[in-house]
Amino acid sequence: MELPFTRTQFLQVFAEYNQGIWPLQILAVALGFVAVALIFSRRRWAGRGIAGVLVLLWAFMGVGYHGLFFARINPAAYLFAGLFLVAASIFLVEGVVRNRIRFEFATGVRGWLAMALLAYALVVYPILGLLKTHPYPETPLFGVAPCPTTIFTLGLLLLAAHPRPLMLAAVPLTWSVIGGTAAFLLKVPQDLGLIAAAFIWVAARSRQR
């Protein structure tokens, strides 16, 4: 498979993106930790709060990363922007407006797998990038970069109760396939977590059925 851009161009986009949006990366990480904390909260609005975090992250990546930066080297980024805005809209309608998504820590293997994905996306993924593959500002970071945020989202959705779980996970699963190719084509080994997250979500949901 041949990409319409080089690895150097890909990393340059991330460098310009991170420099252009600083210090929003810090806010994104803070929102991620807030979402994790709300999993254990018994407040009635906790589900809305978590969904609201997902709305902000997915909408920002759709417009900010794909629409304004990645589209400079890849015309397909406009399609990706649309997909991310669809995901943001689903979380907005189902989670914030209708309050139909319930997030709760699950005991057993599913709960610990979910927490492992959340920890990987929030902490391990950016550290691997900073120390092993892409020094800052070329580093894809949680909350503003699609791949770690998708892993995080699938971790949350492992703990979500909704009448149509596949509707919630459709775009994250799609991006796991698209973004997972970066692990090989663009030499981003931490993106292997995308493939693992998608497999874990599908396996867990299949087992629940």
Please give the mean pLDDT across all residues of the chain. Answer: 95
| pLDDT-above-70 percentage for the chain | 99
Look at residue 4 and tell me whether its pLDDT is greater than 80.
yes
Number of residues assigned to the chain: 209
CA 49, CA 44: separation in Å to the nearest integer?
10
Band of the pLDDT at 209, cuts 50, 70, 90? low
Tally of helices (H runs) and strands (E runs) in the chain = 10, 2
Terminal-to-terminal C-alpha distance of the chain:
35
Q: In this predicted structure, what is the pLDDT of residue 134?
A: 81
Closest by CA to 40, choosing from 99, 120, 107, 117, is: 107
Angle (CA) 75-19-89 rounded to 5° is 55
Closest by CA to 142, choosing from 157, 169, 160, 120, is: 120
- Range ranked top by mean pLDDT from 41-45, 60-64, 105-109: 60-64
Band of the pLDDT at 183, cuts 50, 70, 90? confident
Segment 20-25 mean pLDDT: 98
Segment 82-107 mean pLDDT: 96
Cis peptide preceding 137, ω within 30 of 0: yes
State pTM to two decimals.
Answer: 0.96
Interacting residues of 56 by C-beta distance below 8 A, sequence separation 6+: 31
* Tens-digit pLDDT profile for residues 136-169: 999 999 999 999 999 999 999 999 999 999 999 9
Q: In this predicted structure, what is the pLDDT of residue 110?
A: 92
Q: In this predicted structure, what is the pLDDT of residue 205?
A: 86
CA 154, CA 159: separation in Å to the nearest integer?
9
Take residue 101 and report the two structure tokens written for it.
Answer: 């998504």
CA 167, CA 25: separation in Å to the nearest integer?
28
Segment 11-16 mean pLDDT: 96
